[in-house]
Structure 1
């Protein structure tokens, strides 16, 4: 087992384009780096989806009269950031007590595990023992607020997912624990934002203002989530352009086979394929009764996306057909066996002709 020590689904477009680059580059560090970037985007979008659900859940609660999620303090008796640090410490203890937490408790033994490339990939290692020391103020270092601890805890799992591929046990363990951690963080987040607003007000004019309302906390969460989604879309587009530059040109024979494969798609899957073409070519009309798809006029990105989509669909169709063939063969065997048993009974019931 190779622990990651501490890094961050990518959209299918990026995954297909990375696979296209793989066709040209083969196994190598460049393709691995692209895959890791895709995995990082996937992880980020997974977490943002949880935030979106949090926002939607709040407003659904308001709509049905439940008042949404409770947040803020009505009595104005702020316990302050130390109380939040204690609450966050409890979350950290819950995560570190999980049966899968062992690889992340101490710094990665880079020398003992002979991980020669570790520091090339992981530029900022992190582990829970380091976090614990900073929380206790040891080694002349100390966290100033809860968000700093949150960032380091997330870094532990992000590093592990970045260094280990998605099939590796450590990657799977890190992703699972990160999801559990993010769920608990979202429950604490309104209190954190409430306290941050209070401290900011006090620093501005020395007079504490009313605590932030649940609606304001959720509105800020929604805005922050939207900003992060915009940033991810920007990263995705940059990655997309990078991959496009590395895609080899599809041969005429491959284009011919792709066209033949499209002819074997169902009506629904064919519409999905045509929508892919329209995404890169706004002038392409898929609403016409007769659609003329010129393979030579399509970009390399579109062609590779179509290729991997068609391959996936045809493999799925083949698996379904294989299952039906086996089911039909089984049914035929059952019918033959039943006929054989019936014939045997008739022979036994026939009177002996010699009597």
Structure 2
């Protein structure tokens, strides 16, 4: 081929192969980082769960959760079993409460069979008695026939707790005492029956409190079981995430070793071009480049007021990381034709010094310091080796 040397062709082919390998490895790294980001989100969820648990020291019942939280809880292993146990427990508790309400019925029979009970057996005949102001005085009318109907209701609208029945029985007598004069017969009858009812209720109350205590204990045990189930599930998820993160870390390490093996050592020319490229970065990208150096060199402090950057002392992996970063940073910016390729040439004989001081007083001065250091080095080299 006229005008083209075989060495040039071989170098170009090698460069293309390296670029292809770079792209392939880059895609693998991108995939891994995408996976790590998802894993980090899961880790944050687990941390939030344990943080919330440690603050509340209790678990929230699924009944009180929002639709979004219920969807999360639904996927917790064991939650279905817990829900089934909750349904059985609530059904058993409801059956016991029905038995207590039936037992409470004996008190109602004693009260309703009393000779003073007849005014309270049916709803007040407001129109018949011409009680025009009755609904202005009484907010919620109540009578024993209404109580009985609600106790016998089968459509789910009936009483759920014996205390609700007790409250309505009191309301029957309290309404009568509120509307009627305290010297009237109805007032006296209502007061007498209310006192009798309270006496019988106090005798019956221990059965109610015993059932309520049992319910509370069962609910507390169920909540504890749910919390343990959630913690066990989160612990398993944390272990699985730890394994996945470890595998991702190992994969990244393998890729790093692959990159180091594939990449030959940067020549003096490569390092010189890398130094020139560093001066073309904006202050923000320059800070990121120095952070790369610091990340892989414990003795290098990128946040120091004054730092020493010795490119020749950097490891090959760090130099290649800088190369890729600078290449990406300059791509699409005002230096459209800047090339930080393997063995890329330059007419500028500038070479970065082994101890180029980069003053970090403010970000904008960094670039200026690097440029000055490069210029001084170029001048010295031109004096030693005049063209």
TM-score normalised according to structure 1 size: 0.40
Bigger RCO (CA 8 Å, 6+ sep):
1
